[in-house]
């Protein structure tokens, strides 16, 4: 795996040379848009709204619509004028208690690997963060965009977790949600607490897999082999009236503590190959 960049972690006068690696990977199924009667792939052209004519790349510019129908054109030199110093470094601005950070702020993790000369300082910083429960808050530039980020320990590694800035989070105040004054009935509260306790188990991420993608791959394989599939059975519309006590009683009746999650079916290899080839 190739690093995204090689740089350093800095705090005070300490400098730790590191390499940055993605910590997550996800394969999305890609689909092409086709004409229905002959399955010919559909391509899109760049056309101008004014006359519907196709526009070649050399005549396309970037513009920002500051008022309806009014644009400011930005050239490459304009972006350079406001370019933030893209130094490949994690400059820690502050240390904060990790437990105080709302998880809503976290966005995407990256692993930091120390270079040989920084191994001991890397281990020292990791140990201090583990001992104190702190995270280092910094601003980093990745792929020409500045991000807020938290440097935190994860097992033996240091993880750089990209974060949202405060103004990027939507305010839930506009949503129609129950206020803190809305109190559930005592009986419902007790039954719900009992249900939560019965369903509580130790955290094991291997119990949870992407069942939707697996089922979709199986469906693709069946359609590739057999063409049409049987019609879906009709479902009755769900009732909007909910008897919480009855629902909780039924849930408790069918719940056993620490019940293992059902194992997911293995992804059909044939379907995965066909999908990638398509």
Give the pLDDT score at 260: 44
Statement: the pTM of the whole predicted model exceeds 0.85: no
* Residue that is last in its domain, among 115, 134, 168: 168
Pair (132, 260) in one structural domain = no
Residues of the chain with pLDDT under 70: 83-87, 237-242, 257-278
Per residue in 170-193, pLDDT tens?
A: 988 888 888 878 888 888 888 888
Is 61 contained in some domain? Answer: no
Pair (195, 156) in one structural domain = no
Q: How many domains does the chain have?
A: 2
φ, ψ of residue 108 to 5 degrees: the values are -155, 130
Give the pLDDT score at 99: 96
Q: Domain with 90 in it: what CATH number?
A: 2.40.290.10
Give the pLDDT score at 124: 95
Q: Is the dihedral of CA 265, 269, 273, 278 positive or negative?
A: negative
Alpha helices in 181-254 (DSSP H): 186-199, 211-226, 244-253
Separation of alpha carbons 91 and 146, rounded Å: 13
Alpha-carbon distance values, 15 to 25, 90, 151, 221, 244 (Å): 29, 10, 14, 52, 57
Pair (149, 192) in one structural domain = no
> Taking Cα atoms as reference points, which of 170, 180, 159 lies closest to residue 90?
159
Pair (219, 193) in one structural domain = yes
The C-alpha R_g of the chain, in whole angstroms, comes to: 26
Is 67 contained in some domain? Answer: no
């Amino acid at each position: 795996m190739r690093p995204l960049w090689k740089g350093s972690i800095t705090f005070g006068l300490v400098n730790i040379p590191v390499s940055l690696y993605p910590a997550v990977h996800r394969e999305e199924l890609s689909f092409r848009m086709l004409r229905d009667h002959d399955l010919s792939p559909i391509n899109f052209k760049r056309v101008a709204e004014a006359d519907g004519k196709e526009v070649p790349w050399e005549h396309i510019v970037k513009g920002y619509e500051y008022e309806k129908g009014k644009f400011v054109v930005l050239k490459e030199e304009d972006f350079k004028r406001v370019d933030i110093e893209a130094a490949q470094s994690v400059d820690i601005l502050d240390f904060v208690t990790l437990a105080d950070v709302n998880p809503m702020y976290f966005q995407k993790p990256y692993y930091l690997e120390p270079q040989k000369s920084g191994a001991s300082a890397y281990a020292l910083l990791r140990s201090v963060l583990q001992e104190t429960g702190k995270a280092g808050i910094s601003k980093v530039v990745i792929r020409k965009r500045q991000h807020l980020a938290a440097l935190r320990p994860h097992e033996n590694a240091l993880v750089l977790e990209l974060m949202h800035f405060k103004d990027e989070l939507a305010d839930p105040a506009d949503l129609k949600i129950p206020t803190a004054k809305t109190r559930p009935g005592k009986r419902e509260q007790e039954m719900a607490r009992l249900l939560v306790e019965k369903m509580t188990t130790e955290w094991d991420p291997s119990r949870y897999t992407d069942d939707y993608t697996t089922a979709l791959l199986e469906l693709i394989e069946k359609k590739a082999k057999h063409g049409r599939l049987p019609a879906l059975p009709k479902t009755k519309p769900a009732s909007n009236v909910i008897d919480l006590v009855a629902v909780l009683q039924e849930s408790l009746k069918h719940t056993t503590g620490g019940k293992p999650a059902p194992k997911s079916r293995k992804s059909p290899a044939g379907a995965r190959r066909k999908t990638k080839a398509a």
